[in-house]
Structure 1
Amino acid sequence: MIRKHESANMLVRLPPPLKAWLVQEAGKNCASHNSEIVRCVRERMERELAKVALERAKERAVAAAAAAE
């Protein structure tokens, strides 16, 4: 059987101030605590991937400029 969305369970321990912030943000976004955590992690992952892509593009531009000389 193939499930559309597979997920893994993970226990996360949060310091009380972070938990309070998470509860507040989830409430503002009409989201569950879980979906708020997933959103935050996904945003971080996308920023990291974009950073790597930008660094690679800069490296290619430098290499192209050096080859053109």
Structure 2
Amino acid sequence: MDPAPPIVVRRPLGTGGRRVTAHGRILGLAHCDADVVALLRQAELPDAAMLLDDRSFMAWRGGRAHHYEAA
């Protein structure tokens, strides 16, 4: 079984936006890909923009990747 990716972008919230976690720690709420990249850079991952679609690094849960609107 493959290990879980360290970064998880959770399902869209009812108010919009998605919670982003790293190794289970909440980094913040993202409303667009630029927000995800900013949160990952704050977590000292400078190449974050290149990793948004890397399944070994990031998982998009409960909705389509790159979709932030409320369900």
Structure with a larger share of its residues in helix: 1
Q: TM-score, normalised by structure 1?
A: 0.27
The higher-RCO structure (CA 8 Å, 6+ apart) is 2
Query: Which one has a bigger Cα radius of gyration?
Result: 1
